[in-house]
Amino acid sequence: MTDTTNANETPVLDLLARMTADSVDASNLDEETLILVRVAALVAVDAPPVSYALNLEVAGAMGIDPEKLRGVLAAVAPIVGTARVAAATGNIVKALVVELEVAELDSQDEV
């Protein structure tokens, strides 16, 4: 039996990455629209902060203007409700705080 511990330390994250890549490949949307639609879907399903973190990291790397993300929240509010948008806003803030803390830890490790 082969030891797959090192080769497969994050099977769930690896699966999510493959699923995301497959969905990107299957879509005919441009990258910016795809990310904005994904954020709208996260709001609709009341996604946890980690889901926002993963998608906002991509949005940031693509240079998507935060105003466009705010526009998504405003656009979906009448459909999903203000409570869902408020929860999404809180989860986005939590995701950003975690990202900042991770970045700070990384910079401390480099010192």
CA distance 98 to 102: 6
- Per-residue confidence at 102, pLDDT binned at 50, 70, 90? confident
pTM, two decimal places: 0.78
Output the six-digit token pair for 86.
């408020």
Name the nearest CA neighbour of 61 among 53, 71, 73: 53
Helices and strands counted in the chain (H then E): 5, 0
Q: For residue range 48-78, list pLDDT tens digits in order.
A: 998 898 888 888 888 999 999 999 999 999 9
- Per-residue confidence at 10, pLDDT binned at 50, 70, 90? confident
Task: Provide the CB-side half-sphere exposure for 100 (13 A, CA).
Answer: 6
- Per-residue confidence at 1, pLDDT binned at 50, 70, 90? very low
As a whole-number percent, the residues of the chain with pLDDT over 90 amount to 51
